[in-house]
Structure 1
Amino acid sequence: MANTGRDRQAEMTTTERLVTERPERRTTAPRGRGASGARRSLAPGRNATMAGLLAPSIILLVAINAYPLVFAIGQSLHDGGITGAGDFVGLENYATALQDPAFWNAAWFTLIFTVASVGISWVIGMTFALVLRSDFPGRSMFRVLLLLPWVVPVVVATTSWNFLLATPSSPIPTLFRTLGFGDVQFLADPTWAMVTVIVFKIWGSFPFMMLMMNAALQSVDHSVEEAALIDGATWWQKLRHVILPIIARPIYISWVLAAIFTVNDFPTIYLLTGGGPVGATNTLVVFAYRLVFQDFRTGYGVAVAFLITIVIVAVSVFFFRRINRAAMAN
C-alpha cells in the first residue's frame, strides 16, 4: 500500500510537472520566432556583404564583355578601316548592307545552309538515337564510330573532303564518271558546291544531335510507351504522340544550339570552298570576314556581324518561348 501511494504521488508529480512545463514551452515559442526574426533582420546585412565581395568579379566580367561590344558598336557607326575609325556615318553601314545584293545572297545561302543542316542532322541523329535504345551486339563500337565525324578536327575533315572531291581526278568524281554520271565538279559548280557544304555540315553535326536525343530519350518512361502499345498505337503514333511531346524541350534546345553553331560556322565554309565558286557558298560570317580582313571595310563588316547577332537573338527568343510552352505542357 505504501508503494502504491508512492507511485500515485510520483504520477501526480509527473503530471504536475508536465502541466507546468507546457506553458513554459508555449512561452518559449515566441522567443524562437523572435530569434528567427532577428536572423531575418541580419539577412540584408549579410546579403550586402556577399554582394560587396562579388562586386569586383562581376564588374570585371562586365567590363571584359562590355568593352568589345561597345567598341564594335562604335566601329559599325563609322566608315573606317583596320587602322582607324574613320568618319561617323550613323546607320549608313546598316542601310548599305540591307541594300547590298551580295549581303542578301549570303543571307539566303545562310538560311538554306542552317535550315537544311539542322533539320536533316536532327532527323539522322534522332534515328540513330532510337536505334541505340535497343540492345544489340557491337552497340558500343557502333556508337563510337558514329561520334567520329564530330570528334575529328574541322581542319582534318575539310582537308580529307578536299582530297576526295576537289579535282576531277579525285576519288569521288572518278567514281561518279565510272557510274555514268558524267564529270561532276563538286567544288567548282555553284549548285554542287552548295550541296557539298551542306552534306559536309550534316556529316559533322548529326553526332551532336544523336547525343542530345539519346540523353533526352533516357527520360522517357518505358511504362508510358507500353501503355501506348496496349492501347493499340503503332510505332509511328507512339513516336509522334508520346515520345516527341515528352522530349520537346531537349529538341528545341538542340535546335537552338545547332542553329547558333551553324550560322557562326566559319571554318567549314572557308576551308572547304572559301565562299565560292562565285560566292555561291558565301555565308554571312564569311561575308563579314572578307569585308573586314580582305576589303578593309571594318565598319561595314562589323555592321553585318551585328545584323547576324540580331537574327540569332530573334531565333533564340522564338525557340525559348516554345521551350517554356513545352515545359508548361509537361
Structure 2
Amino acid sequence: MSFRKIGPFQVAPIGLGCMNLSHAYGQPPAFPDAKALLERALDLGVTLFDTAALYGFGANETLVGEVLTAHRDRFVLASKCGMTGVNGQRVIDGRPATLKATCDAALKRLQTEVIDLYYLHRWDKTVPIEDSVGALAELVQAGKIRAIGLSEVSAATLRRAHAVHPIAALQTEYSLWTRNPEIAVLDACRELGTAFVAFSPVARGFLTDRVLDVANFDPKDIRRAMPRFTPSHYAANRQLLPAVRTVADEVGGTIAQVALAWLLQRGEHILPIPGTTSLAHLEENMHALDLHLSVAQMQHLETAVNAHTVVGTRYNSATQTEIDTEEF
C-alpha cells in the first residue's frame, strides 16, 4: 500500500471517519459491532481514524479510546474541537479557553497522552481565526497535540491560520457531487503543503449501489435537513448514477469504489475518510485502492456529476451560515 503525507505523518490513502458509529444517521450500532468495525479497519490497513468531541457529544471519542487504546502505536488519531454538545445542544465556540478545555476532556475520553491531529471543527466567526489557531498552537507547545487542522474553511481563512501556525490538514466535504473545494481550497492546500481530508466522499450514501429510502430516514438522521435528500431532489439526482455505473462496470468495481478512486486520483494530497457501520462496506471502500481510472473515465465522471448537474444545495440556509467554504 502506498502512503500519503498529513503533517508529520505518513498514512494509508483511505482513512476511517468514525462519526457514523455514534452520531448523525440514526440509531448507532451496538458496542460489540462498533468495536468489530474499528478493529477490522486496523486489520485492513487503515492508519487514520477521525473522530470529534461533537460526535455523540463525547461518546465517539470514548468509543475510539476504549477500543483502540491498546493499538495506539498503529494509527494516527485525529479529533476536533470548537463544536461540541452543551446541555444537549450543538454549540460552536472557538474561544481559546474552550478549545483547551475541550482538548483536556478529549484526552481523557480517548485514553491517550497526545492527539496526533486536532482540528478546529468549525471556525467561530465571533473569534478571530488567529486567536483560535493560536490556542491550538499552545496545545502543540504543551505536548497535548502534535498537528493542527481546520474544517470547512475557505482558502483565505486557511492562509490566515497558516500564518500563525502550520496547518497540517484541511477537512471539508468533497466528492463527485460536492465540488466546492475545486474553487480555491485544493490549490491552496497544495501550495501550503496542507493535506486535504475529504469527508463524505461517497456523498452520505448517495454514491453507492444502495437506493436510499429518503422518505423514511430515521428522525435523527441529519440528511433530513439537507436539500439534496428531499424526495424530489433525490429522485432527480438518482438520474446521474447510471453514468457512474458505466465506469464502475468498465473497471470491475462498485459505484462507491469509483467515487473513492476518483478522489484519490484528483491529487496526491487528498485523503478520503469514508464512514460506515457495515463491515462489508468497510472492505468495499478499502478495495477502491485496487482501481485505476483512465483520463477518459475521469472526464466522463466529472461531466456527468458536478455542481451544474446536481439538484439541491449541500446544506440548508441555517447550516450554511456556520461554515466558511467557498460556494458556487
Q: TM-score by structure 2 length? A: 0.23
Which structure carries more relative contact order (alpha carbon 8 Å, separation 6+)? 1
Q: TM-score by structure 1 length? A: 0.23
More strand by percentage:
2
